[in-house]
Structure 1
Amino acid sequence: MRRSLPPPGLALLLVLAACQDDPAGPRRGGPAYLAIQPVFGSAVELASFGLIADTVRLDVVRPPADTLRTLTVFFDPDSSQIRLGANVALRVPVETLAVHLELRGGGFALFSGTAPVEVRAGQPGTPHEILLAYTGPGSNVASVTIAPRDTVLTFGDSLRFHVTARDLAGAPVSLFYVLWGASDSTALRMTPSGLASAPGARATLWVRARTPTGVG
Structure 2
Amino acid sequence: MARRSEEGGYPEEPPVIRVRARSDPFLVICRCFSVITVLIALLCVAVNVISAVNSFKNGADVFDGILRCYAVVIALFVAVAETEWESILKFWRVLEYWVGRGMLQIFVAVMTKAFSDANEQRQDIVLLQEIASYLLLACGVIYVVSGVLCIGFVKRARQQKAITREQAAKDLEKLVTTAGIQDLERRREELQGLLMERA
TM-score by length of 2: 0.26
Higher relative contact order (CA 8 A, sep 6+): 2
Q: Which has the larger radius of gyration?
A: 2
Structure with the bigger percentage of strand: 1
- Relative to its length, the structure with more helix (as a share) is 2
